[in-house]
Amino acid sequence: MSAGSEIEIDFEKLRSFRREERNAFEISKLLTQSLDKFISSLYDSLNIRGYIAVVATGGYGRVELCPKSDVDIMFLVESKDKKIESIAVEFFQNLWNSKFNIGHSFRTIDECLELFDADVESWASLLESRFVCGDRNLYDHFIWKIKEKSLGDRSLNFVNAIIEGNKLRHQKYGNTIKLLEPNVKKSAGGLRDLHTLLWIFKSIDPDFWNLSEDQSMCKSMIELMFEKGMISEEKFYAVIDAFEFLLWTRIKLHLVTEGITDVLDFNVKEKVAFELGYVDDVNKRGVEIFMRDYYLKAREILML
């Protein structure tokens, strides 16, 4: 059986998982590990040699994949020539044939560093980098260089740009938690608020460059916040629970719609609520109980 077939089977298993059986962090890790295995196998099958590393970024890098998430991959090289460009093209063509929503980039370390001034969003994605396969020494050097750049004397320029971008996102997707059709990722109290916090911490505190690569990067961030005394134990457990709830909601939303959507619209709310185990009681419909819980969880994230 091919690696691609194994991944498809893993996706099918998700439909039978219930929240009381598996937490969302386990599901995202399962998806990430399956994809890591597929990509590493592809890398080996192409007999790739040289100073090349395959780097996961975005949700894939954070170990927070959902079934229909974009899979962001960077082909990191020491230098570019026609041979390496040909290898990169072949590598990504094989990935596009795997039916994933692949987002790709092909960069040297110097090109990555140029993004600090050129593209805020692309630089933010580099802060979520995780090694998949290839030349580990090249990857480690890359991390050292972007860490040095992130924590440099112009780090506040990036932080201010991120904060301003966060305000604009809330204005566009809803700056209150009590939306009738919230975007689980981008509305106020959504998952992107945690990602934003991660980018900021990685720009001001070197300790946040030591987060685990074996679990959700944002979960590791929250754990470190607690260890450093930045949040209370009560707040820690509340935020972890809220994060896991939102991640499960997004996972089920992707499965219910069988497409890339992060909006809990009127057509899917009831199905997502049912998939998460919500049922009607004598006073309220299951979907109403679900949305009440959603608002409470989003509030925990927004107030972090």
Length of the chain counted residue by residue: 304
Q: What is the pLDDT of residue 267?
A: 93
Structure tokens at 112: 């990555």
- How confident is the model over 176-220, as pLDDT tens digits? 999 999 999 999 999 999 999 999 999 999 999 999 999 999 999
Single-letter amino acid code for the residue at 266: F
Q: What is the pLDDT of residue 259?
A: 76
Structural domains in the chain, CATH included, are 3-150 (3.30.460.10), 155-302 (1.20.120.330)
- How confident is the model over 247-266, as pLDDT tens digits? 999 999 998 998 778 999 99
Place of tokens 């201010």: 160
With a cut of 70, say whether residue 10 has pLDDT above it: no
Cα(235)–Cα(237) distance, integer angstroms: 6
- How confident is the model over 141-181, as pLDDT tens digits? 999 999 999 999 899 999 999 999 999 999 999 889 999 99
- The pLDDT-based confidence of 48 (bands split at 50, 70, 90) is confident
Quick one: average pLDDT of 278-282?
90
Q: In what order do the strands lie in the sheet with 52-57?
A: 101-108, 70-77, 52-57, 130-134
DSSP line for 195-236: HHHHHHHHHH-GGGGS--SSS-HHHHHHHHHHHTTSS-HHHH
Q: Give me the percent of the chain exceeding a pLDDT of 90.
A: 74
With a cut of 80, say whether residue 15 has pLDDT above it: no
Structure tokens at 133: 């396969």
- Which range, of 49-63, 85-99, 257-271, averages the lowest pLDDT? 85-99
User: What 3-state class would DSSP assign to 100?
Assistant: coil
Q: How many CB atoms lie within 10 A of CB 110?
A: 10
